[in-house]
Amino acid sequence: MAEALLVGEDLEREYRTGPETVRVLRGASITVGRGEMVALVGASGVGKSTLLHVLGALDRPSAGRVLFEGEDLFARGETALARYRRQEVGFIFQFYNLLGEMSALENAMLPALVARRPRREARDRAAAALAEVGLGDRLEHRPGELSGGEQQRVAVARALMNGPRVILADEPTGNLDPKTSEVVYDLFLQLQAARGIAFLIATHNPDLARRADRIYRLVEGRAREVGPSGETARGLPV
């Protein structure tokens, strides 16, 4: 495994629902190495999204630690956490989360604008990122004018805008047909090779999971490494 970049140690996450406490994560531990592609599999509702949200500092763990480059993430102040979310990590979601009234270019520009980059620089970065993901001729198209695969590529371009070290992708091919899913996953592999970006991808697709460098399976709130090589991975339950 590559040198550790992002590590979750004994992560727990509890939620209150009325008088009951629901334990989603129960001591989950996971490691993503520098420039590594890691797949996270598991049944619906088992906590994959929760784990990604905690690792991306969109949510706080009830217990445990998240280490980024060896530093305890949640020991940082809120300003430093916001900087981590803006600059060090990129997010890709199943439902794209694009703004329908904005063009592909404007959607991709948003993270750079939030980071207070000059508008001209944000526009240039977004145009370059969209060209990198194969949408250089779709800059002015709105999401409703794009296919599902094209919308997800806009979301990938948006995630690239501030030069993240790691991208957290939550079921990024869940709304796509098998052929388009392969295209999007191939794009992830290209970005991994060209930019050295690490990926943690939550997926239900066992064929895509097997193409990762390593696989974790989340069961009953705990993560265990299951592959990708060997009989365990070939019979991977997702």
Q: Is residue 17 part of a domain?
A: no
Q: What pLDDT, on a 0 to 100 scale, did the predictor assign at position 233?
A: 46
Q: Is residue 182 part of a domain?
A: yes
The tens digit of pLDDT for each residue in 192-226 reads 999 999 999 999 888 889 999 999 999 999 999 99
Q: Is residue 4 part of a domain?
A: no
Q: Is residue 173 part of a domain?
A: yes
Q: Residue 110 pLDDT > 50, yes or no?
A: yes
**Position 111 confidence tier, pLDDT thresholds 50, 70, 90:** very high
The tens digit of pLDDT for each residue in 69-109 reads 999 999 999 999 999 999 999 999 988 899 999 999 999 99
Q: What is the total count of domains within the chain?
A: 1
Q: How far apart are CA 129 and CA 9, in angstroms?
A: 33
The tens digit of pLDDT for each residue in 153-186 reads 999 999 999 999 999 999 999 888 999 999 999 9
The tens digit of pLDDT for each residue in 55-67 reads 999 999 999 999 9
Q: Is residue 9 part of a domain?
A: no
Q: Is residue 89 part of a domain?
A: yes
The tens digit of pLDDT for each residue in 31-51 reads 999 999 999 999 888 999 999
Tell me the residue range of the domain where 180 lies: 34-61+78-234
Domain CATH for 112: 3.40.50.300
Q: Is residue 45 part of a domain?
A: yes
- Specify the residue for token string 């990198």: 132
Of 192, 186, 161, nearest in space to 172 by CA = 186
Q: Is residue 14 part of a domain?
A: no
Q: Residue 2 pLDDT > 90, yes or no?
A: no
